[in-house]
Structure 1
Amino acid sequence: MSFYDKQYKALVQNIVQNGYSDKGQNVRTVWADGTPAHTLSTISEKLVFDCKEVPILTTKRVAWKSAIHELLWFYVHRTSKADYLDENNVKIWREWTRSDNTIGRAYGYQLGKPIRTGNWKVNPVSGHVSFEFTNQVERLIQGLINDPASRRHIITLNNIDDAWDMALQPCVWHNQWLVKNGKLHLIVGVRSNDVALGQPFNVFQYYVLLRMIAQITGYEVGTVTFNINDCHIYDRHIDPLLDQIELEGFKAPELWINPDVKNFDDFTIDDFKLIGYEHHPSIKMEVAI
């Protein structure tokens, strides 16, 4: 059984035994049949991975390629247009995709949005000032390379000015990167975490993102820490999860990432292989919308 399988089992048991119920409250989420999707939740959970093994569940099959596709959509393509997902038959955002085939100003939009670097040039003839722009991903990579001691290597996905135009406000809402003794560490801030469906994707994805950024910047891989503010299990997921965590897990697989990729934006799905991934079958669970 993998380390994540063990952590996951303990987390599920704790939420089921000690979680707060929101039954009786007016909740935003519903099931496809219109029934309110209530939860049991705990506050401020912390998961830490030393990255000596790949943190992916083996007590069920995690659609790891879809998880990486979503990661590439956000961080490499940096767009909220769902064309990339459609081209790769990834359906995880269908419930939130609008008629214009976007998810509004969420996730990839925030990562690709032009931001000022603080540098500018003045045309000596016209006096016109031209500002230099970048985006959050490019700024992060350059900052890690040029100023590793900084404590300001932060990506934020929660722009309150754009929240009104987000199909879904960000669950993973920020991350911070620290370089210590030549190792790159990642701290992931999670506003709200669906333990059954969202968390297995998120944990694996941000491990992959750490590996990608470390490869591009030349650092060794450190730790991934998840700080989860509202950690919850939906009511229709409780029984399947309790059955799942009683399964005997397998050894964690290995993740190969193409070492020839030197530019972050050159990563494609073909640059990743999950080797030796043994797992129990997929477990069908409804998505709360």
Structure 2
Amino acid sequence: MSILETPYLNLLKEIMTTGNDRSDRTGTGTKSIFGAQMRFDLQAGFPIITTKKVPFGLIKSELLWFLRGDTNIRFLLAHHNHIWDEWAFKSWIESSDYTGPDMTDFGLRSESDPEFKQVYLEEKKKFDQKILNDDVFAKKYGELGNVYGAQWRHWQTRNGKFIDQIQNVIEEIKNNPTSRRLIVTAWNPEDIPSAALPPCHVLFQFYVNDNRLSLQLYQRSGDMFLGIPFNIASYALLVHLIARETGLKVGDFIHTLGDAHIYHNHFEQVQELLTRKPYDAPKLWLNPEKNKIMDFEMTDIKLIDYKHHSTIKAPVAV
């Protein structure tokens, strides 16, 4: 196995050293560079970050959620995945139906006010339970709009029909592997105003050569400390799953970023991470009896020999 996270660590160092100080939508502030690229050889191992623990179970459930075309957080909550909670919770507390304590700027306030944080966590726990147990509430407030699952599997056309981009690209890889149109996009300008969070990873393209499947992702915006480690592992897993269904070996994952940023309130965490020595990358195990992406369940996907440092917590900017 090899040290695969070096491109990620080098990019963190570059942003901390040369990044531009910028304001942002969340009011937190960032250091940012525009235009960056990381390349990972998937033959050398699975590129999950080892300088901190990355919860692979959350990555699996989120990707399976996307691939099922689901856009409601209920599936995620049922698998103890809270990655998307804040955006659904924000819609709830800003609605006329919400009558609880003031949750304005709950992300930032919970960092500096321990008393408020406790109230916020209690409200979010009640929200999550209602999503899991109340069908009507879940349908209204668990829905995130046309996020990745919808765009990947149910892209709506002008004439009201739907396009399954994932199935289409699988068939094209099988039948026309040298095509330069092996592309899936999540960026639909018409849907941006209604989405809980406009797509950050907006477009990816496959490339077949020497019986190996590679993928390049273009991501318009990347939270380098919290989000990007998830994105790297998620798209690496996607390459493996699509390669399995198309009968190919894996090649490279190339991660291209527009605005690559580190939030001001993540600086200490990044500095701590950069003091740690990375471990060799683990291997990915996929159930050999499964060949189609829609047949995979959580237990069919595992990491072997994932050695990592401890978790480093950081607040999510919403």
> Is TM (by shorter chain) over 0.5?
yes
Q: How far did residue 276 of structure 1 move?
A: 1.1
2:294 equivalent to 1:265: yes
2:15 equivalent to 1:37: no
Greater Cα shift, 107-116 or 133-142:
107-116
- The answer for the alignment partner of 2:312 in structure 1 is 283
1-structure distance, mates of 2:288, 2:3: 26
1:218-258 CA distances to partner (integer Å, 9 max, x unpaired)? 11111110110110000010111111111122221111011
2:58 equivalent among 55, 63, 66: 66
2-structure distance, mates of 1:163, 1:217: 32
- The answer for the alignment partner of 1:105 in structure 2 is 146
2:38 equivalent among 43, 47, 59: 47
Segments of 5+ residues of structure 2 without an aligned counterpart are 93-140
8 Å contact 2:244–2:292 — kept in the other structure? no
1-structure distance, mates of 2:219, 2:45: 22
Q: How far did residue 7 of structure 1 move?
A: 2.0
- The answer for the alignment partner of 2:224 in structure 1 is 195
- The answer for the alignment partner of 1:33 in structure 2 is none
Per the normalisation by structure 1, the TM-score is 0.88
Identity, % of aligned positions: 35
Q: Number of residue pairs matched?
A: 266
- The answer for the alignment partner of 2:268 in structure 1 is 239
2-structure distance, mates of 1:185, 1:114: 24
1-structure distance, mates of 2:2, 2:54: 14
Q: Which amino acid aligns with 1:55?
A: P
1:5-58 CA distances to partner (integer Å, 9 max, x unpaired)? 322221111101100111xx4x311xxxxxx21000111100011111110111
- The answer for the alignment partner of 1:121 in structure 2 is none
1-structure distance, mates of 2:4, 2:267: 19
Q: Which amino acid aligns with 1:48?
A: R
Q: How far did residue 111 of structure 1 move?
A: 1.6
SS at match of 1:281: coil
Q: How far did residue 112 of structure 1 move?
A: 2.4
- The answer for the alignment partner of 2:14 in structure 1 is 14
Runs of 4+ in 1 over 3 A off after TM superposition: 131-134
2-structure distance, mates of 1:133, 1:235: 41
SS at match of 2:190: helix
8 Å contact 1:19–1:40 — kept in the other structure? yes
- The answer for the alignment partner of 1:120 in structure 2 is none
Q: Which amino acid aligns with 1:200?
A: P
Higher fraction of strand: 1
2-structure distance, mates of 1:102, 1:256: 32
2-structure distance, mates of 1:57, 1:87: 25
Segments of 5+ residues of structure 1 without an aligned counterpart are 30-35, 117-130
1-structure distance, mates of 2:201, 2:168: 19
Q: How far did residue 114 of structure 1 move?
A: 5.1
8 Å contact 1:60–1:281 — kept in the other structure? yes
2:3 equivalent to 1:3: yes
1:147-195 CA distances to partner (integer Å, 9 max, x unpaired)? 1121101100010111111000111001001111221110101000000
1-structure distance, mates of 2:172, 2:280: 36
Within 5 Å, give how 1:90-101 maps onto structure 2.
90-97=81-88, 98-99=91-92, 100-101=141-142
Per the normalisation by structure 2, the TM-score is 0.80
SS at match of 2:228: helix
8 Å contact 2:4–2:280 — kept in the other structure? no
